[in-house]
Structure 1
């Protein structure tokens, strides 16, 4: 996937692939969205009116526009929201919409922030959705927060390294997100740098996106059973996906935490041991299984120097011991990461220190001016935003094919 498709405003994104991907639906089977003019008014299910601004992205089946609450003013480049519009008989938006309606209403997120005494929670807020008729055709739309750059770009610009403090700070905030979505019956299943977006209001805030293929692992409080399905083997982004997913088992809480562990190791070391042969998913799976039983060996392989990040080994060991349906002790995992911060003479100060590298050194961070608005907003550069044709609820049975990052 090109960098221009790294941002998906409604947070359903295509996985990045290195080669041809089998099993994707033909674009001929779905209608493309027509262009909406700036200033068009749409009304959501709560009867709130929204005004569209300039288009900032177009994918296979939908378009993305800047958006703001309807007023006499035109929607400017500093608009706090984005809206994705797609023909209502298409499906990519439908799946994600269900997640946001169940788990991402602003009042739900704010209540969690208050009760858990957080400064923020990196779950994008859902502001509205509905159907809109234009020229005799029906379109589905959803309004979301607007975001900035994804971490993959920043990671690559930093020579594929994040500092130990940055990795630990990022992971503490991602753990906050995972605990929240897990408690709302969902798992993410595809945590990676390109699915982590920054807020423009605060460059120290990171948001986990792409819930178009999130899995409801515990509907109505009943956990899905462990069951291996050969048709779903290796589902996810191959270098990060969990051992369960490699075996065709439905995503679970321990899988999300395992994926985050692999991300932390890659962000800090620059490379995972199995990245030399991603074309062979069985090799990747077997490597992960081998290192799961030899976490010390994994640390030696990735961090040959003497000063090893013991907190990552402790984190991976805790995750290794989790049962498939077991509820994780999130605070125990946080405590391990906090111990890592203390080991380097730091603390959880909320700063990500993601300054890009220039001439071998970090670029100075610049303050971002906040825009006063009733809606928490974030910014994304126009060139980073593009909608995608991620697989939909109608294609649940082919879900694993749409998420594999395996060259055929």
Structure 2
């Protein structure tokens, strides 16, 4: 049974380093040190080698929350239903992809500690989040980097959308570099993932003011502002806002984030006045034409309409043709401009505290 939703989740009392957890498949995992915490849970380094202390270079992490909390339960259901490795590999072969940035799920289970019940989930370890990189680079990415990340996100979103889910909370804090492959980007944190089309039946459009302005206010979709359940077009709209911020450094409503109604009105204005609203917002010397076209296409979608992902990718890739980027290669965020040939980059390790709310 899913846990009851609460307005605020309790952060669990930390588990002891060295504790052994057994997942539902009877596989044992040893906890290492805690490396992150957020609004509902904790993240520990972990290892399947239970007889020795967990190494700092461990390639697994364990997310932990109280059993009565909800986000980890939602994330677990997403992985069990929509992100099994055999399904991902089959999809990649079908789409001729060499990489799809969905973290690997290794197992899950429940544990008891000091009279409290915990839920845990074992995942592959990831690296630094994109928000940290964005801030360190002066809140600005070059156009080539933004468009390449956008295309990678479209690959991920097409897969999860085809498997009846939407992410609902796309933002730089939830995009993480790989730990073993630090030049690739993963879309993480499926705690708000929503099954928009269970058994092939799309949820109906229904506004609910009591649920208005859900999500991260800076990027959330117009549907979410109205309390409408998440959809494919909502995910793509959010991605469009993210790309606009990454390329321009800020969004037109950035100064008004404490006023959800004002943010909603500003987003309406932006979408109503495309492409001029985007091109005029862009700093001098910054061409955001592809993002304007992307948002124009997305804003024309019906609530339950299937997006044309290939068309959207072509829009973004059109801004890269002259530079011949290695779209299937690695990202380089170490210089002002992306490397044209080898696309070399700088390894980044660690696990961002921003990954969890």
Instruction: Tell me the TM-score normalized by structure 2.
Output: 0.89
Aligned counterparts, 1:4-403, within 5 A: 24-25=7-8, 27=10, 32-38=12-18, 40-59=19-38, 62-134=41-113, 137-303=116-282, 305=284, 308-344=287-323, 346=325, 348-355=327-334, 368=347, 379-381=349-351, 384-385=352-353
The total of aligned residue pairs comes to 346
Deviation at 1:35, TM superposition (A): 2.4
Tell me if structure 2 keeps the 8 A contact 1:322–1:328: yes
Q: Which runs of 5+ in 1 are unaligned?
A: 1-22, 358-363, 369-377, 391-408
Give, in whole Å, the separation in 1 of the partners of 2:262 and 2:140. Answer: 25
Secondary structure at the counterpart of residue 148 of structure 1: strand
Give, in whole Å, the separation in 2 of the partners of 1:386 and 1:154. Answer: 12
Give, in whole Å, the separation in 2 of the partners of 1:272 and 1:36. Answer: 43
**2:3 is matched with which residue?**
none
Cα separation, partners in 2 of 1:273 and 1:366, compared to 1, 3 Å: closer
Tell me if structure 1 keeps the 8 A contact 2:331–2:344: no
Q: Please provide the CA RMSD for this pair.
A: 2.5
Deviation at 1:134, TM superposition (A): 4.3
Give, in whole Å, the separation in 2 of the partners of 1:124 and 1:315. Answer: 26
Tell me if structure 1 keeps the 8 A contact 2:279–2:288: no
Deviation track 1:12-66 (CA, whole Å, cap 9, x = no partner) reads xxxxxxxxxxx94274xx7x3342231x322211122222222223456543221
Deviation at 1:133, TM superposition (A): 3.6
Tell me if structure 2 keeps the 8 A contact 1:271–1:302: no
Deviation at 1:232, TM superposition (A): 1.4
Secondary structure at the counterpart of residue 149 of structure 1: strand
Instruction: Tell me the TM-score normalized by structure 1.
Output: 0.78
Secondary structure at the counterpart of residue 254 of structure 1: helix
Tell me if structure 2 keeps the 8 A contact 1:62–1:387: no
Tell me if structure 1 keeps the 8 A contact 2:67–2:118: yes
Moved more, 46-55 or 187-196: 46-55
